[in-house]
Structure 1
């Protein structure tokens, strides 16, 4: 919503958000988790303006060096070519998505889009990366390195993971220790009336009728018996 409101972000603003997201991705990767669903809708801003990644429904756990997974998932505009090709993928997919997100922040649109799903996929797999002339040299260089179709040569794909991305000159002014300690001032703080103020959310979400998620797990007979036993004991007391 903030990106929509602004149209595009200045590079300093994008740098702050991308830096915080890179730290979150690096942390997940250290835990053997690929995030796989990096897109604007899944990046929340806390009341203090710092980033919070949400929606871990597409995460893949236990992916350490040398392991690949083949699930087709995510929003295609931000999806790495190797997911679309179903050729097996690892944590490098998150760095492609960071590149796609960076492009969106700085230009107002994802790097490869078309009028339908099939044409969008074709563009992601084969289209030319067009970089607007107003981008700085550092931004252009990082985008090219994150949006490499060959996952093994993509920035962040090596054993140093997030450290390689964070070492790029685009982040040359970032103090990473201060960032981790929340000492870097966010570029924007949501204006909230109270802790449960939802005015910053799009009304298409807040106007929906809340519905409980269906519980598809059925209790086993033995669990049912235990539950009945405990209920009876509770009644007796």
Structure 2
């Protein structure tokens, strides 16, 4: 798999979609399932949060880092979208929780946050970058020895399977051309095996590998309606950590620990 294709469009800025994301993604069953999966992984791995330093890179409106702050973590957040950052400020202020905010790209994060952190979050960012694999060393440098990288990315296998189920047998790896041209489809679905190998090279061990929406996205809406969202969520959380089902998640979540 090539670490960079010939597409040279710039990294995606979501200023134009901030309000829409708040309304149509994070308040939906898909968004709630994503948060459930992240909560489960942090709990299962017994990651200490009280007084932990957290850097949320490309954190948008900070849904999950807000939950870490509620458990005692000190959160810093950066994003290239001013609109997203304002939503994050508003959410933390509503909970009377402190938040350090910087408007910057992932490529500039070392200059803005030179110190390493106990936990670094990077969720649904890599697939929007022009060169995703070039970002991994930048993320790795911000993690303390013995610290954690929480990395969530758009999964190539889940994307391809979904495309096949939608009848796009001629080009299952590519995105919907209209959505891609409008900038609303991830530019680079990523192979989890290639990401894990790159993290290993950078001195990380992947301790948790979960597929998110490995059941939800491949189940017909009529069936989801019939059995209920709670049953769908339960199945997704259960099978998301198991092979081969985790390979079909729409997203993959890695919790990787940096060797001390």
TM-score by length of 1: 0.25
Q: Which has the higher strand share?
A: 2
